[in-house]
Amino acid sequence: MKFAKQILLTLAIIVTTAALAACGNNDNGYSSNGDANGVDATPSPTPPAIVIHQQEITTGGATGAIIELSREHFLEDFDQFVSILENDFLHLGVVYRRFGVDFLQIAAELRPIIADDDFELDEYIFEQLLLDNFFLHPDISFPIADWHINGTQRRPSEASGRSTTPHAESSVIEPDRIGYVRINCFMLEGFGSGAVRSNIGRAIAQMADFEHIIIDIRGADGRFYMWDEVLYLAFITEQMANTYHVFARDRDELNTALMMNGQSQNIDIQQHDDVDERGLQWSFELTWLRNPPEHDDGHSNFGGQLWLLIDGETSRGAATLADNIKHSDIAILVGEPVGGNTTSRVTFLRLISNDLPPGISLTNTRIEIGFEALYVTNHLGQNVDEYVARPHYYNMEGLDALETALALIAAADAD
C-alpha cells in the first residue's frame, strides 16, 4: 500500500447533485452491499433485547401535566412514537444494517410490556423505556438520534458536565524521530482557543524533520473547522477535497443546515423528480477544499509518515476528518472504525438550538422527540453513518491504537 507523507485536509462536505439513487437503495429494507473498504456492513441480526432501566438519567419529568396519565395514555403515545419512528426516521435501515438493531421489532416486543397491568408504569419509566431502547440503545455506538426534552438536550458523554481535559497536547515519543499530538476535543471555541491552535501548530512545525508524527483523535467529538487550519498547513502539498451529498424531504431542512455551516450563499438546492419511499426530494452540493500554503508563513511541510489514531468514540467533526484523511490517502489510520459522522454533527446542532420540526411532541406525555432530517452520503452515495472511516490497521491483540502504531513502526524498521 502506498501511503502519502502529508496531512490534513479539512472537512470536505460536498454534496454532488446525484440522482436520488445516489443516496443508496432500500434504506428501510434490510440489505447491504458492503462498505467502501470492501467490508460487509451488514451485522448478524440479533433478537431484540428490551432494556429496563439501563441507566439513571434525570430529565426533570416529561410533562408537568395536571391530569394523571393512564396506561392507555402511555400506549397511545407509544404508538404515536413508533409511527413517527417508522415514517420519519430516515436512518432506520442504517441502524439495522450497521448494528443489527431492529427498532420496529423492539417496539413490537416492548408494547405488550407497556400494556401489561402488572408492569409498573409512570412518566419517568416511560421516558426511560424510550431512552434505553431507542435513543441511547446500548448496541448503538453513536448518537444517530438524540434525546430532546423540556428545552434541554444532552448526549451521554456530556451528562457529567464540562471536561477539564486540555483541548490538545503534544509530546515527543522518540527525539528527532516520532512526535505525538493528542486532540481530545474538537470544540475549540472561546477564550484561549487561538493560543491552543498556535501552540499545536508550533509543535508540529518543530517536528517537521521527524520521521513520524502520530495524530491521536480517539474519543474526540465536536466541530473541527478550526483544527484543520492548524493541521493541514503542515501536511498537504496539493489541493485536497472530498464530496458529500445531503438529501432531505423538506427544502427548509437544507436551508437550516447551510445557515448553520455558514454556507447560505451560492449553494444550488435541487429538487428531484425520482423520489424513493423515503421521500428525499431535495439535495445540495457543498465543496470544502483545502489548499497547501502559497507562501512561507512559519509552517514547515512535514516530509515523513503521518499516522491517525481513531476509535468508535471518534464522532461528528472528528469522524469527518478521519473520513477525509482516509479518502485522500495522506495518513495511515490505526485503531477501530469511527462512530457517527456528519449526520450526527448536524443532528446535535439542530436539536441544541431548539429547532425541532412541528408536530413532534407526543400527545399525552408531551415528550418532544427529534430525528435527523438530513440524509448525508459520501462521494459513492453511501450513508456516512453506515460506511464510516475504517483503519488501515486494526488494533493488534492486547494493544491499543498508539501501541499498535508504534509496533508497526518498529516492524518497518526491522525490515
Least confident of 284-288, 342-346, 389-393: 342-346
The pLDDT value given to residue 286 = 74
Least confident of 65-74, 198-207, 311-320, 353-362: 353-362
Higher pLDDT, 174 or 284: 174
Q: Which three cell numbers stand for residue 230?
A: 492548524
pLDDT digit string (tens) for 200-226? Answer: 888 888 898 999 999 999 988 766 556
Give the type of residue at 356: L
Give the type of residue at 381: G
Helix or strand or coil: residue 97? helix
| Residue ranges of domains in the chain | 165-347+377-414
Tell me the pLDDT band of 237, cut-offs 50, 70 and 90. confident
Higher pLDDT, 141 or 92: 92
User: What is the distance between the alpha carbons of residues 40 and 98, in angstroms, rounded to a whole number?
Assistant: 9
Name the residue among 278, 308, 293 with its Cα closest to residue 7: 308
Mean pLDDT for 118-132 is 90
* Domain 165-347+377-414 architecture: Alpha-Beta Complex (3.90)
Name the residue among 387, 397, 404 with its Cα closest to residue 334: 404
Pairing of strands 245-248, 332-335: unpaired
The pLDDT value given to residue 148 = 39
The pLDDT value given to residue 27 = 46
User: What does the mean pLDDT of the chain come to?
Assistant: 73
Residue 363: pLDDT above 80?
yes
Higher pLDDT, 20 or 225: 225
The pLDDT value given to residue 143 = 55
Q: What are phi and psi of 40, to 5 degrees?
A: -60, 120
The pLDDT value given to residue 357 = 46
The pLDDT value given to residue 353 = 36
User: What is the distance between the alpha carbons of residues 305 and 250, in angstroms, rounded to a whole number?
Assistant: 44
pLDDT digit string (tens) for 159-168? Answer: 333 445 677 8
Higher pLDDT, 159 or 117: 117
The neighbour count for residue 79, using CB atoms within 10 Å, is: 15
Name the residue among 346, 273, 316, 284 with its Cα closest to residue 90: 346
Least confident of 85-94, 272-281, 293-302: 293-302
User: What is the distance between the alpha carbons of residues 14 and 241, in angstroms, rounded to a whole number?
Assistant: 9
The pLDDT value given to residue 360 = 72
Residue 252: pLDDT above 60?
yes
In whole angstroms, what separates CA 106 from the centre of its chain?
Answer: 24
SS3 assignment for 218-230:
CCCCCCCCCHHHH
Pairing of strands 282-285, 269-271: antiparallel
Q: Under 8 Å CB-to-CB from 346, ≥6 apart: which residues? A: 257, 260, 372, 374, 376
Q: Are 319 and 387 a contacting pair, CB within 8 Å?
A: no
